[in-house]
């Protein structure tokens, strides 16, 4: 990304809806949830909402970081992910990356970021081991018109920002 998105600022006062609009404007190559059947669209949108709330970009490092963030701080636990993993919506997310860059890029990128990501994941795990208030995953609509800062404060997410 050429510019630093406002939604990535830990203290952003944008609403979640505004952050999503910025996310989609900066990532026009992503499959729009609007083009998918409703049940698939909901999973795609929940993933995109996570990018905005957690302040993650679409680079491989953040793509790999966001799954554990969901598992450890949201209602999308690892078991939920395993159930959704066989969904066409999850396939679409991977197909987007492969279509954009290719399989060799995808797997090469994963291997390149793992050494830097592991210490981050360990730190995140220690910070989230006893997480109390879980961020909604599929039921995110009530959050759309709230500020990102307010959401991050309510769900104690600010401590996860660098």
Q: List all residues 6 or more positions away from 63 whose beta carbon is below 8 Å from its beta carbon.
A: 56, 97
Report which of residues 44 and 162 the model is more confident about.
Answer: 44
Q: Is 87 exposed, middle or buried (0-12, 13-18, 19+ CB in 10 A)?
A: middle
Does 128 score more than 70 pLDDT? yes
Q: How much is the mean pLDDT over the chain?
A: 89
Q: Give percent of the chain above pLDDT 70.
A: 90
In the chain, domain spans: 15-157
Count other Cβ atoms within 10 Å, centred on residue 84. Answer: 16
| 128 Cβ contact list (under 8 Å, min separation 6) | 72, 73, 160
DSSP string, 28-53: TTSPPGGGS-HHHHHHHHHHHHHHHH
Can you give the pLDDT at residue 102?
A: 79
CB 121 within 8 A of CB 61: no
Q: Which residue has the tokens 């909402």?
A: 49
> What band does 77 get if pLDDT is binned at 50, 70 and 90?
confident
| Short-list 36, 30, 131, CA closest to 76 | 131
pLDDT band at 1 (very low <50, low <70, confident <90, very high): very low
Q: How far apart are CA 155 and CA 157, in angstroms?
A: 6
Q: Which of 125, 126, 134 is nearest to 157 (CA)?
A: 134
Mean of pLDDT values over 106-124: 93
Q: Determine the average pLDDT of the residues in 75-102.
A: 74
Please say if the pLDDT value at position 84 is more than 90: no
What crossing angle do the helices spanning 103-128 and 60-73 adopt, rounded to 10°?
Answer: 40
Ramachandran angles phi, psi of 135, nearest 5°? -65, 135
Task: Say if residues 75 and 50 touch (Cβ distance below 8 Å).
Answer: no
């Amino acid at each position: 990304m050429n510019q630093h998105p406002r939604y990535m600022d830990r203290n952003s006062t944008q609403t979640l809806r505004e952050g999503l609009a910025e996310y989609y404007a900066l990532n026009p190559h992503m499959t729009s949830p609007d083009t998918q059947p409703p049940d698939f669209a909901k999973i795609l949108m929940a993933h995109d909402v996570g990018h905005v709330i957690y302040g993650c970009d679409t680079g491989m490092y953040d793509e790999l970081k966001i799954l554990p963030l969901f598992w450890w701080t949201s209602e999308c636990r690892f078991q939920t992910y395993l159930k959704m993993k066989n969904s066409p919506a999850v396939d679409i997310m991977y197909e987007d990356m492969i279509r954009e860059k290719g399989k060799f890029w995808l797997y090469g990128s994963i291997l390149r970021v793992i050494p830097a990501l592991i210490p981050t994941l360990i730190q995140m795990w220690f910070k989230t081991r006893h997480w109390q208030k879980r961020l909604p995953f599929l039921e995110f609509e009530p959050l759309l018109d709230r500020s990102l800062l307010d959401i991050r404060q309510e769900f104690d997410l600010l401590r996860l920002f660098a």
